[in-house]
Structure formats: C-alpha cells, structure tokens
A and B are shown apart, each in its own frame.
Chain A
Amino acid sequence: DTEVTQTPKHLVMGMTNKKSLKCEQHMGHRAMYWYKQKAKKPPELMFVYSYEKLSINESVPSRFSPECPNSSLLNLHLHALQPEDSALYLCASSHATNNYGYTFGSGTRLTVV
C-alpha cells in the first residue's frame, strides 16, 4: 500500500458545526502532516506529527485541532470555522528521519457556509 487516504473527499459544514477530517497511511511512515491550500496558491503547512507527537504547529487557530491516535492515522478536528477556512486540506506522510517517500493524499475539499 503506497497511498495516503483522506476522507471525506468533500465536506460542507456550517460555522457552528463540529466535524473531523481523517487521514490514513500504511506505509510505516512516522511523520504525518496537515496542509491547507487555497486556490492557485501553494500548500501551507499547518501541523507536523513525528512519532505520534506534535512537532510543528504553524500558529494555526485553535478551531483546528489535530490528533494522531496511532502511527497510521491522523485526524483534524474542526469546530466553529469561518468561511475563509474554506480550502483544500491535504495530508501527507514520510519517513520521519529523512523525508523519504513523501506522499500526499488527494485532499478534502472543505466549504464553510
């Protein structure tokens, strides 16, 4: 298995909703990443988990809450989002020590209404 699987592919949520994005990989990668990508812009790093511990948090608002319950799974919990949070959310994974095998998921297209 050489894929990073993200679910759901599309999500529409209201500003008072709570939802979660899920990312899964079975490549034995111990580094996992969340990115946010707005239209026609490169991805922006949000969080990095290394060996299931949060190692980088790029000053992301607390309405985004990451969770890494095990080495294969990464979640992003969403609460009280704003319309400007609408974007493509990408997950990626790699070997923790040398970034070898950096693999992106196909993303979750999030729309906040």
Chain B
Amino acid sequence: KNEVEQSPQNLTAQEGEFITINCSYSVGISALHWLQQHPGGGIVSLFMLSSGKKKHGRLIATINIQEKHSSLHITASHPRDSAVYICAVSRGNQFYFGTGTSLTVIP
C-alpha cells in the first residue's frame, strides 16, 4: 500500500471548470507538498502545507491533519494548467510521492 494515495488518476476538464484533486496519506508527516510537472519537464513546487489553507492565484490547497487528507483546487481552469499534479508528504529527509493526477484542460 502506498503511503500517499491520489485521486483521480486522470482528469479531463473543459476550460473554465473548477477542478479538485484529492490526496490521502497514512503516515505522520511534517508537511504536505503539491507539485506540478509538465510533460517531459521538471517539477515545480506549488504549495507546502502543514495546516489550514493556502491560496496562490487560481490555486487553492487545503489540508485536514486529523483526517490525513488534502485537496488541490484550481478555479477557472485553463489549458496551460494541463500537467501532472503530484501530492507528496515529507517526514525528516524522506519524501513520499503519490502517483500523480494527469490533468488535461480542453479549450
């Protein structure tokens, strides 16, 4: 069993739609990270959370420590949001990755 589970694995949305990606984890963590990776590209860190909610532009990330659950929301989605979104948790120097959600936003 993976320490980090994401859903859905694949997601297709129309431009402008509100998108939610979910992440559940089973280990104690020091922080949860949402990462973005475009095809063939490197990884960009979107958020690092240890509690509550963070917002950056059209992206919102929330975490519920008691339920060991986090969500990434994208408002007014755009084709340039098409990428793989990866949830990861850190404990000490260890990083546990989810398998990623492949998002395609259609114009």
| A residues whose Cβ falls under 8 Å from a Cβ of B | 6, 31, 33, 41-43, 45, 48, 50, 55-56, 88, 90, 92, 96, 98-107, 109
Contact = CB atoms under 8 A, between A and B. Distances in A.
Q: Chain B interface mostly helix, strand, loop or mixed?
A: strand
A4 to B, nearest CB: 9
Interface of B: 30-31, 33, 35, 40-45, 48, 86, 88, 90, 92-95, 97-100
Contact of B42 (A31, A98, A102, A106): A106
Contacts of A90: 42-43
Contacts of A43: 43, 97
A99 B42 contact: no
Q: Max chain A CB contacts within 10 Å: which of B44, B93, B94?
A: B93
A55 to B, nearest CB: 6
Q: Considering the complex of A and B, which 9 residue pairs feature the smallest CB-CB distances, nearest first?
A: A106-B42, A42-B97, A104-B43, A107-B42, A99-B90, A48-B93, A104-B42, A42-B99, A105-B42
Contacts of B35: 104
Given A104-B44, A107-B43, 7 more contacts: A41-B99, A88-B42, A90-B43, A92-B43, A100-B31, A101-B48, A107-B41
Contacts of B30: 98-99
A42 B42 contact: no
A43 B44 CA distance: 13
Contacts of A109: 40
Contacts of B41: 106-107
A56 to B, nearest CB: 6
A92 B42 CA distance: 10
Contacts of B90: 99, 102
Contacts of B97: 42-43
B58 to A, nearest CB: 21
Nearest to A44: B97
